[in-house]
Amino acid sequence: MKKKRLLVAICVGFAIASIALMCQTDDANGIDNVMHFQRTFDLNRDSLGSEMWLEVEKNEVVKICMDSKVRVWDNAPNTEVLNDSCLKYRMPTLVGVHSINVKFLDSDSSHKINLAIGMKYLDFKNEETLYGNDSYQMNPFSKKIVQVSGSYLVDKYPVTNCEFLQLLWNEIPQKSSKIDSMKNDFINFWVNRKESGTRNEKCIAHDSAASSIPLYLAMKYANIRSVREGLKPYYIFSNTHSESVRIDRMKQVNQNGKKEVPNHHYFIAYKDFIEHENKLIEVSVDSSSDGYRLPYYDEWVMLARAGDKKNNAPWGNSTSFNEISKYAKFEDKVNCFDLKDLGLLQKIISFFHWCKNDYESGPVGELLPNGFGLYDMFGLVEEQVLFEKHNVLRDNAILMVDPRSIAERERNPFRCIDDCPACLKGGIHRSDLERINYGYISNDYFPKYAGGFRLIRNIGNNAKWTEVKSDKE
């Protein structure tokens, strides 16, 4: 009886194995069942043109199939040719762009397929954006409509901790007794993260967002992203001396003798993982570069609104926390810094993670996207956004109203009060929800550690902004 059962079991085993082998066919109809593709792109040859864009996620396994026989897939690492028209591709672990060149059997012409990994490709043609009366913009104005045309690549999510760690790996010092004794929480956070991490580790799509990143390091990260893809870095850094900054900031004069400050020229805190003799660094831009960069104020508002010309926020006029939480992650956990007066009790609360420190955030991409398919434009982490002009001196009325501003300027004349190079948009867990909208900002006091960020590219620097004249004008 036992021998019979054993014989039956062996036969069943052989049958299962045979079925499995039969399923492993090269026929295109059977591939998906075996390889578990997360997405399939069925492309029409006639729609390719010279170049096309596909949006994918990090680590995603996709199948790309053409409706014609392919002679060669050029520049396609980490891929497997499945048959004469289909390709399997496992996406890289970092956000970016990878391009594949396709040549067909009956032609020598090459067609480029660009894979935007963790990014949105937005090709605007007279996209209308509403701008309101925003006192924080360099030139406040009443409501108006602006048409935008141009091709943009935009990070779908804020830059994550894993991405920041991997690209800045060589900049972050090794763990040491000297580092352990430092009181700089920011440096300790990244040193410990590097210690527990692995070089070239897999970055998941929904990792936690990087937070409290200095403006200088956000710009440096952007340059590294550009270099990785063979693009010219956008930001140019020059050493400067704090004593000469005030003179440098006001020395630009146009032909009419009117004071004119150049666009895209900044003095920011020289903050990274080591101490520098010069506390400030001068930043200019390479206008010929279409590499990665931080969005400018008007660009961020356009991307956040995503075509919304009626509401002040993605959730409309709702004040319901549940409704707001569909689009923005605002934490109900208190910030550890807010408990500093509690002394030992604050340390205990912080140790057990009952409060949240400035370097903690949460996973990206868990809530609803906006109309452009961008996630976490509000909540989670504030995003660093540059002004077109840093050193335009604005109305000093605030200094007359708030004497603390005068005292702060006398104590630290290089701290940004009324002429910041950047601001923080979107709000975070401590923000007053009733005030959060497309125009909301918090000041980016540049000697401090700031917020999170996402990067953009204006491909070919081809963006055109045109104000739409109303019938009354």
Q: Provide the pLDDT for residue 162.
A: 97
- 249: enclosing H helix or E strand: helix 245-250
Q: Provide the pLDDT for residue 43.
A: 96
Cα–Cα distance measured from residue 175 to residue 195, given in angstroms and rounded to the nearest whole number:
7
Domain with CATH 2.60.40 in the chain: 26-117
Tokens of 254: 């146009």
Q: Provide the pLDDT for residue 383.
A: 94
C-alpha distances in Å from residue 239, one per residue of 220, 367, 416: 14, 42, 19
Residue 422: closest CA among 382, 461, 466 = 382
Angle between helices 28-35 and 2-23 (to 10 degrees): 120
Locus of tokens 């980016």? 444
Tokens of 50: 């010279």
Q: Provide the pLDDT for residue 97.
A: 97
Q: Provide the pLDDT for residue 419.
A: 59
Q: Provide the pLDDT for residue 376.
A: 96
CA dihedral 19, 25, 27, 32 (to 10 degrees): 80
Q: Which CATH superfamily is domain 120-467 in?
A: paralog of FGE (formylglycine-generating enzyme) (3.90.1580.10)
Q: Provide the pLDDT for residue 444.
A: 59
Q: Is 310 helix (H, G, I), strand (E, B) or coil?
A: coil
Residue 237 has φ and ψ, to the nearest 5°, of -105, 135
Residue by residue, pLDDT tens for the chain (473 residues) are 544 454 445 454 544 444 443 443 333 334 444 456 789 999 999 989 878 999 999 999 999 999 999 999 998 788 899 999 999 999 999 999 999 999 999 888 899 999 999 999 999 999 999 887 565 554 455 678 999 999 999 999 999 999 999 999 999 998 776 666 556 778 888 998 999 999 999 999 999 999 889 999 999 999 999 999 999 999 999 987 655 554 444 454 444 555 566 788 888 888 899 888 888 888 999 999 999 999 999 999 999 999 999 988 899 888 788 888 898 887 655 555 555 555 665 455 444 444 555 567 889 999 999 999 999 999 899 999 998 865 443 333 333 334 444 444 444 434 454 457 888 899 875 556 777 888 888 765 544 557 899 999 999 999 999 988 754 55
Amino acid at 78: N
Is CATH 3.40.50 the classification given to domain 26-117?
A: no
Q: Provide the pLDDT for residue 186.
A: 84
Residue 166 has φ and ψ, to the nearest 5°, of -65, -40
Domain with CATH 3.90.1580.10 in the chain: 120-467
Q: Is 234 helix (H, G, I), strand (E, B) or coil?
A: coil
Q: Provide the pLDDT for residue 17.
A: 46
Answer yes or no: pTM beyond 0.75: yes
- 268: enclosing H helix or E strand: strand 266-269
End-to-end CA distance of the chain: 98
- CA of residue 447 relative to chain centroid, distance: 22
Residue 122: closest CA among 368, 472, 456 = 456
Q: Are 121 and 136 in contact (CB under 8 A)?
A: no
Please count the other Cβ atoms lying within 10 Å of the Cβ belonging to residue 171.
15
